[in-house]
Structure 1
Amino acid sequence: MESVMNSQKNKHNTVFMSALKQALPIVLGYLPVGFAYGVLARKAGLSIDNTVIMSLIVFAGSAQFIAVGLLASGASALSVIITTFIVNLRHLLMSAALSPYLKKWSRPELAAFTFQLTDESFAVHSTRFSNGDTSKSETYLINCIAHAAWVGGTVLGIFSSTLITDVKPMGLDYALPAMFIALLIFQIKDRSHVAVGLITGLLSTALALGGAGQWNVIIATLIGATLGAAISWTRD
């Protein structure tokens, strides 16, 4: 009996360490960005409770920053809801991309998974699932670790908000790009991925310099994704 219990304990420890290792790039990004959100939310007048609750139940960095900005400008609740809903429509595409791997999951399991699905965890899970690793326990652990890091960063930002007047000089805005670069590296499998990534990045920069505004990312992504798909079809 004792040997069985030790075996189970070792298995759980292995799963946890594997999940922690995969979630580490996300954690390193979420802590500083969550920190920045906590500071900005308090500066915008949100209460401590509402600031933490938003990170617990919304758990969407871009939506939370937008919501804080809108609330600070005096926007109505309806405007905040509609704007953040539009911003998060990309989750439909992410969920659709992962759905073929989740056909055997029950509805409560899918609800629990999608509640904590973010851009960053999508990048991790899409790689895992495509490699045949669809372990539910490890999937949930990765999501929970990432979520805990976001909430933890938020709490640190709240308690530091009285000491920090402006987060911009701290360079926290680079945390998200750095995190995505790390996640992108993990997904590179051959030279074509490198080529598509470089072309997309250069195109996005060119469009931004050409006056495309925030549309540069979306346009470059669509062109890059189309190019990647064309290369894949040519090989097949």
Structure 2
Amino acid sequence: MGRRDLRAAASAALPVMLGYLTIGIPCGVMEAEAGVSPLWAFVVSATFYSGAGQFMMSSLALAGTPVAAMVASVSLLSARQTLYAAALAPHVSSAPRPLAALFAATVTDESFGVNLERFVSDDAWTPARATLVNLLSMLSWAAANALGAAVGPALAIPTAVMSFAMTSIFVCLLVGQRWAARTAAAALVAAAAVVALKLLGAGPLSVFFGAIAGVAAGLVADARARGRVVR
């Protein structure tokens, strides 16, 4: 990894890093309310590294939820990560195993979107640059969590603002995509599925199954487009 790789990765990761700063501080505030110190907020964020999972853990801990129930809930919420491995595996198959393992361990929703788009559209994008995107994003998230835990209850940020900040990152990543039939199909089907499942009371499973539905719709749309090209 050289300076050129670092510059390219930093440029790609900057929107995610800024978004993580916005979301990570309120997440750290919630962790402080649950009794987590700034140091441990940084350590947890740099190892567990799941924004939605950390918000859920803090909320469940403050509500006095049993540990077994917390583990089960967060595991279900994070199950969507298995989808990322299947989508990214072909792009890092040539990377050394230590680098591929580090890359896989540091992928999140947002860095997945950035890296997948770069792998598809940029021939110069490498597993090393993708891993740097992950690590830069992770460090910004961990630092923001530590800062939030340090300032603690002094920052009274409404939950609605936190939720919108998290959603806004996904909106920005979606708008920045190169739109094609598969992109539109995946986005529309995933959104509709999540809303429908939420209304049906599926809870945390809504995101997981909604993501599966979106991926399936995108694959079908892409297969049809490829079939037309072949014919």
* Category of TM-score, reference length = shorter chain: 0.7 to 0.9
Percent identity over the alignment is 24
Cα root mean square deviation, aligned: 2.8
**1:34–1:139: structure 2 CA closer, same or farther, 3 Å change rule?**
same
Q: Distance in 2 between matches of 1:201 and 1:94?
A: 18
Residue 14 of structure 2: aligned partner: 24
The aligned runs of 1:3-14 (5 Å cut-off) are 12-14=2-4
What is the aligned counterpart of 1:168 among 154, 158, 170? 158
Deviates more, 1:220-229 or 1:93-102: 220-229
The aligned runs of 1:188-203 (5 Å cut-off) are 188-190=178-180, 193-194=183-184, 196-198=186-188, 200-201=190-191
Residue 66 of structure 1: aligned partner: 56
Secondary structure, counterpart of 1:161 in structure 2 = helix
Work out the number of aligned pairs and report it: 224
| Structure 2 spans left out of the alignment, 5+ residues | none
Q: State yes or no: 1:141 paired with 2:150.
A: no
Q: State yes or no: 1:154 paired with 2:155.
A: no
> What is the TM-score with the length of structure 2 in the denominator?
0.82
The aligned runs of 1:3-152 (5 Å cut-off) are 12-131=2-121, 132-152=123-143
1:71 Cα deviation (Å)? 2.4
Q: Distance in 2 between matches of 1:221 and 1:81?
A: 21
Q: Distance in 2 between matches of 1:100 and 1:24?
A: 25
1:186 Cα deviation (Å)? 2.6
For the Cα contact (< 8 Å) 1:31–1:150, is it kept in 2? yes
Q: Which residue identity does 2:96 align to in structure 1?
A: S
Higher radius of gyration, 1 or 2: 1
**1:135–1:51: structure 2 CA closer, same or farther, 3 Å change rule?**
same
1:42 Cα deviation (Å)? 0.7
> What is the TM-score with the length of structure 1 in the denominator?
0.80
1:97 Cα deviation (Å)? 1.6
Q: Distance in 2 between matches of 1:77 and 1:203?
A: 30
The aligned runs of 1:169-188 (5 Å cut-off) are 171-188=161-178
Q: Which residue identity does 2:129 align to in structure 1?
A: E
1:93 Cα deviation (Å)? 1.8
For the Cα contact (< 8 Å) 1:204–1:217, is it kept in 2? yes
| Structure 1 spans left out of the alignment, 5+ residues | 1-10
Q: Which residue identity does 1:130 align to in structure 2?
A: V
For the Cα contact (< 8 Å) 2:182–2:217, is it kept in 1? no
Q: Distance in 2 between matches of 1:223 and 1:170?
A: 27
Residue deviations 1:95-128 (CA, integer Å, cap 9, x gap):
1221122222232222211221111111111122
Residue deviations 1:49-105 (CA, integer Å, cap 9, x gap):
322221121111111112222322334444433432332222222112211222222
